[in-house]
Structure formats: structure tokens, C-alpha cells
Amino acid sequence: MGKSSKDKRDLYYRKAKEQGYRARSAFKLLQLDDDFHFLQQAVRVVDLCAAPGSWSQVLSRRLFPQSSDNSDRKIVAVDLQPMSPIDNVITLQADITHPKTLQTITELFEGKKADFICSDGAPDVTGLHDLDEYVQQQLILSALQLSTCLLRKGGNFVAKIFRGRDIDMLYSQLGYLFEKVICAKPRSSRGTSLESFIVCLGYNPPANWEPKLDVNSSVEDFFQGCDIGKLRLEDKCPNYHEEPRSIATFIACGGLSSFDSDATYHVDTSTPALDPVQSPTNPPYKKALELKRRGKMTRAI
Ligand code: SAM
């Protein structure tokens, strides 16, 4: 977050700074939880792809209100990037696609299951649309694999998705694992973006299915034994018939009274620009800044 650049244009950006959140995306989780209340009973919670940490801040504020007994509650936040500390959150610099990450979280929870898992994961984009969409889907599947190993029966899962061509397939797969699957668009998520959030309530895996993460096995192998495997293309092709399309319920949340993320609001020009809540820990432009400071940014020709 910069000091003033977007303060006047994007109300959520401004509000995030006013309320001490590291990123405007905090409002997406707040608006989702206000509608679905998945944090109400949560004790053990995992925030996947968590940096810079605004979702973890929301989790911390909602799970650790000052007045109640919070002794059993635990929040684990995982990201490839380092994160500055957040009250009541254990931060883990790790790759969510690696089985070792599952092992570490299980140890932190002392073998107990999680009640809620969220993933706001986004890979670095290449600009090659098909490749970007594929990598994003793989990241969602990795978050889902991890969640099937960590969630208790009845637990909830929320993940960012982009409503691309093949999203129906994901809805169908999730429908085999959760009692209710809803596609939700919070008011703070720009209407012009394909971004939405899949809200999966009531984890209910098939009986006798024991998910096992292994670095050498594919996603298909992982879901063997679970009904998701039945959706493989080979199974459909020999005697092709159209499966009924699985369309998840679509809900706009946040309420009409909340700010519209695509609108430009008039902000009093005398309102002072606010400093960023948290400076980046290790920004990719750090080296360039250092070279510039030492006057070594130029190249000899
Ligand atoms: N929810 C965060 C917040 O509110 O501050 C913002 C998350 S940001 C949009 C997406 C994050 O996904 C990035 O920090 C990136 O490092 C992380 N990410 C992408 N691939 C990952 C992976 N394989 N394992 C862990 N984190 C990953």
C-alpha cells in the first residue's frame, strides 16, 4: 500500500488504512463472514496464501475479541513470502503445494482438525491468459487438497476463484465434498474483475476416504477413492452424454449500503494521506532502490 496514490480513488483502500488493515482485501473476508458467519464457532483456522496478512488480521480480530476466553483458538497463516508478525497468528513461510506444509500445520494443531480454511491465493501472472488460468486452478486444487486433509467434518472452506471457462467442473467437484457450495461476490471485490469467492459449507467427505498428500502423486491420484474421480474425462468419453451442469448459487454480499468498489467517491482534499499500515518485508524492487541510492542504477553503454 502506498502513501497517497489511491487514497482518493478507492474508498476500500482508504478505509483499510484507517482501520489498520494491511490490504483492502480485508473487506472481502469481512463481508463474506458477515453473510455466512463461518468464523462464529471457529477455533482452529488456517489462512493459506496469506501475505501481506489482511485476512489474518480479520481472523485475529474476530477470533480473539478481548472479552472472551480464547485459550483454545489458533490461527496459522501460510505464504511463500515472509510476513510481518500479527497478534495471535502463527506465520509460516512455506509453499501450500508441498506436503511438508501439511505436516507442519498438523503439528501446530497438535493433530486436531481445523474448523475453517481460507485461501486468497494468486500466482504471479505471466500475461499468457491460458497459462495464468491453469496455474490459478492448480493453486485452488492445492488449497483444496490441503483442506481435505486438515478440515473436520462439518468444517468450512473459502477460496478465491476466477470465473473462467472451466469453473463448472470445480463447482461439481466441490459439490462431492461439501454440503453446500456458493459462489459469492463481495461488494469490495471490483465488479469489473472476474474474481469471486467459492464458499463451501459443511465438509462431508465420502465415508472410508482417507486423503493422503504425496509429492509424487498427481491430483487425480489424490482424489482416487473419492467420488470426484468419477468426473474424469475418460469415464465420460466412451459413451458420452451431457452431465447436468452444476451451477453454484451466486450471491452478492456486503449489502447495498456498503461502498461500491467500482465507484469514485469524493474525498475532502484537505483529508491527509495516511501512511501504509505495514511496509513490505522484502519487495522485489528493493534491490533497484538500493542501486538507485548508491547512484549505480545506470548502465555503461
Ligand atoms: N489474503 C492476503 C491478504 O489479505 O493480505 C492477500 C493474498 S495475495 C492476493 C496472494 C498471495 O498468494 C501472495 O502473497 C503469494 O505469495 C501467495 N501465493 C501464491 N502461490 C503460493 C503458494 N504456492 N504457496 C503459498 N503462497 C502462495
**Read out DSSP for 190-221?**
-TTS-EEEEEEEEE-PPTT------TTS-HHH
For ligand 1, atom 17: residue with the closest CA:
49
* CA dist., res. 56 & res. 45, Å (int): 10
Catalytic residue flag (residue 112):
no
Sequence-separated (6 or more) residues with CB below 8 Å from residue 260: 187, 191
Q: Which of 59, 79, 195 to mutate to test the pocket of ligand 1 (most atoms within 8 A of CB)?
A: 79
Instruction: Indicate which residue of 8, 160, 292, 296 is catalytic.
Output: 160
% of the chain residues with pLDDT over 70: 86
Distances (CA, A) of 203 to 7, 53, 150, 181: 40, 25, 11, 10
The more confident residue out of 78 and 229 is: 78
Nearest atom of ligand 1 to the alpha carbon of 29: 4
Span from the CA of 153 to the centroid of ligand 1 (angstroms): 26
Place of cell 463472514: 33
User: Residue 163 Cα, ligand 1 centroid: separation in angstroms?
Assistant: 19
240: pLDDT strictly greater than 50: no
Q: For ligand 1, pick from 30, 45, 49, 78 the residue to mutate: most ligand atoms within 8 Å of CB.
A: 49
83, amino acid identity? M
Expressed in angstroms and rounded, the spacing between residue 81 Cα and the centre of ligand 1 is 8
Q: Where are the beta strands (DSSP E) in the chain?
A: 44-48, 74-79, 89-93, 114-119, 151-162, 178-186, 195-203, 249-253
Nearest CA to ligand 1 atom 27: 49
In angstroms, how far apart are the furthest CA atoms of the chain? 69
What is residue 244's predicted lDDT score, i.e. its pLDDT?
Answer: 57
Å from CA of 268 to ligand 1 middle? 34
- Would you list which residues are annotated within the binding site for S-adenosyl-L-methionine? 53, 55, 79, 95, 120
- Report pLDDT digits (tens) over 34-66: 999 999 999 999 999 999 999 999 999 999 987
Contact status, residue 248 vs residue 168, Cβ threshold 8 Å? no
pLDDT range class, residue 189, cuts 50, 70, 90: very high
pLDDT confidence of 205, banded at 50, 70, 90? very high
Name residues contacting ligand 1 (CB within 6 A): 22-23, 25, 49-55, 78-81, 95-97, 120-123, 139
Q: Which residue has the higher pLDDT, 262 or 209?
A: 209
Which residue intervals of 64-184 are DSSP H helices?
99-108, 129-150, 167-177
Chain centroid, CA 225 distance in Å: 27
Delimit the domains of the chain by residue range: 6-293
Nearest atom (ligand 1) to Cα of 55: 4
CA of 136 from ligand 1 middle (Å) equals: 11
> Binning pLDDT at 50, 70 and 90, where does residue 230 land?
low
Segment among 35-49, 203-217, 270-284 with least mean pLDDT:
270-284
The CATH number fitting domain 6-293, selected from 3.40.50.11890, 3.90.1150.10, 3.40.50.150, 3.30.540.10? 3.40.50.150
* Cell of residue 84, nine digits: 510481518
Taking alpha carbons only, the member of 190, 210, 148 closest to residue 173 is 148
